[in-house]
Amino acid sequence: MSVDWEACPRLVAGIQTNEIADGYVVYDPNRERVHYLNHTAVLVLEFCTGEVRAADMPARVQVAYDLPEAPVAEVRECLETLFQEGLVH
């Protein structure tokens, strides 16, 4: 699955997020699956409000973690996983 960088991903309705110190435990009642997200994945998921373009996310992660470069490949991989697992649309 390729990421549509112009799209604004949104968290699927009904997904339950549980915050812990270094990540999220996410429950998808539609598929009855549990997902475990690290900090970076949490950050990307939190951008999925339906108002942030996917193309803008790497720069936001770069700022959040004070990275020398925007982590485009990592954000792409994370978004692909979130789409594949049905957590965002």
Residues that bind another protein (CB under 8 A): 16, 18-25, 27, 29, 32, 34, 36-38
Total residue count of the chain as it appears in this document: 89
Number of H helices, E strands in the chain: 3, 3
Q: What are phi and psi of 17, to 5 degrees?
A: -110, 140
CB of 10 to another protein, least distance (A): 22
Output 21 or 73, the one with its CB closest to another protein: 21
Minimum CB distance to another protein, residue 14 (Å): 12
- 38 vs 49, which CB is nearer to another protein? 38
Residues 48 and 88: beta-carbon distance below 8 Å: yes
